[in-house]
Amino acid sequence: MKHTLSVLVEDRPGVLARVASLLARRGFNIHSLAVGPTAEPGMSRMTIVVDAPELEQVKKQLHKLVNVVRITELDPATALEREIMLVRVAAPAGKRGEVLEIASIFKATAVDVGPSSMCFQISGTPAKINDFLDLVRPYGIVDLVKSGRIAMAREQKTKPGRLRAVN
């Protein structure tokens, strides 16, 4: 089962290695990981998607890292989740129109055109990106790169599940 963790960390060298090493120690595969600065100076946010049956113990272990400030597990059903993808699709002159038509439905932008292929940029939910990929796959995917997933909780009526300690 995939879990999305939003981890606020101090922006220090080696923090990524500490977090990754801890997940590796538990044998968890990191599905995707995105790191970037936050609005708070000196702090970074990691959005980590991991494949694991349950995360309670790992969240507690992650909290033991001195540079980890806050961990929030985001519910995929309600959280805002986004990815960005660059995909180069095989599209010789005769096929460009069809491919562009699909792209326009998905609001994917053509960012490069060559004699035999076109490159699109698309952002959105992981589901939307996968749907777009399914539709262009028959034309032939030459190359593909995805950002890690980034995610944020929606404004909640109930208190978000912040994990500081057991009690």
Which residues contact other proteins by CB under 8 A? 9-10, 13-14, 17-18, 21-22, 25, 43, 56-57, 60-61, 63-70, 165-167
State in angstroms the smallest separation of the CB of 63 from other proteins.
7
Rounded CA separation 91/128 (Å) = 21
* Residue 57 vs 109, nearer CB to other proteins: 57
- Residue 82 pairs in a beta bridge with 150
* Residue 27 vs 97, nearer CB to other proteins: 27
* Residue 10 vs 112, nearer CB to other proteins: 10
DSSP characters over 98-130: HHHHHHHHTT-EEEEE-SSEEEEEEEE-HHHHH
State in angstroms the smallest separation of the CB of 38 from other proteins.
12
State in angstroms the smallest separation of the CB of 34 from other proteins.
20
Helix axes 126-136, 96-105, angle to 10 degrees: 160
- Tell me if residue 34 falls in helix, strand or coil: strand
